[in-house]
Chains A and B, each alone.
Chain A
């Protein structure tokens, strides 16, 4: 069965510091991978996605993620965190779109940013 694991429930970083949020997936075929961000009481905003090709993908707000098939990982990174990045981050994998394409989410990582 497909699954997504985000090992870190909560991470605190200082403003200006670099960030890496971990995501591991379990999926039989080439996965469709996503990172979404959710601010308190808000909807889910797509940060970036990976389907194929270059394993380093760029997203909005200065985020990037690297797909590593050998490690079944899709970690999210940002070189310099801003206070406005404080939010909940969800990694997700989509089942094949010829199978409906539902998203399976990880448990989320809550990011706090210290001044």
Chain B
């Protein structure tokens, strides 16, 4: 069965650089969530989209933005990267009217 795809899997950036993370949910999963997991931490909700519209917003810095496209894939854009942005970034997809989020393998971002 198709799974959630995230790219890249690993990313190394310098401070103040920008990064774009991509998420491709399972086909027909129209709701996408982004989470950030710092070292030794639990995943924290950043933002979610349904049908290309932002549906909820969590503790996402103003330096970050995200969008969902017509094919339901989503991109998380991160600018002016800081050391503290180093984390594992997960996306999860869900089909509207169902109750389970399916997670991707994550993108590990390292900011030097």
Contacts and interface: CB of A to CB of B under 8 A. Distances in A.
Contacts, number: 60
A6 to B, nearest CB: 9
- Secondary structure of the B side of the interface? strand
Given A44-B90, A101-B31, A103-B43, A49 B56 contact: no
A33 to B, nearest CB: 11
Interface residues on B, range: 20 to 34
Interface residues on A, range: 20 to 34
Contact of A102 (B48, B99, B103, B105): B48
B36 to A, nearest CB: 11
A58 to B, nearest CB: 15
Nearest to B56: A100
A99 B101 CA distance: 15
Interface of A: 32, 34, 36, 41-46, 49, 51, 90, 94, 97, 99-108
Sorted from nearest, which 7 A-B pairs have the closest CB atoms?
A100-B56, A105-B42, A43-B105, A44-B103, A102-B45, A100-B55, A43-B103
Interface of B: 4, 31, 33, 35, 41-45, 48, 50, 55-56, 58, 90, 92, 94, 97, 99-106, 108
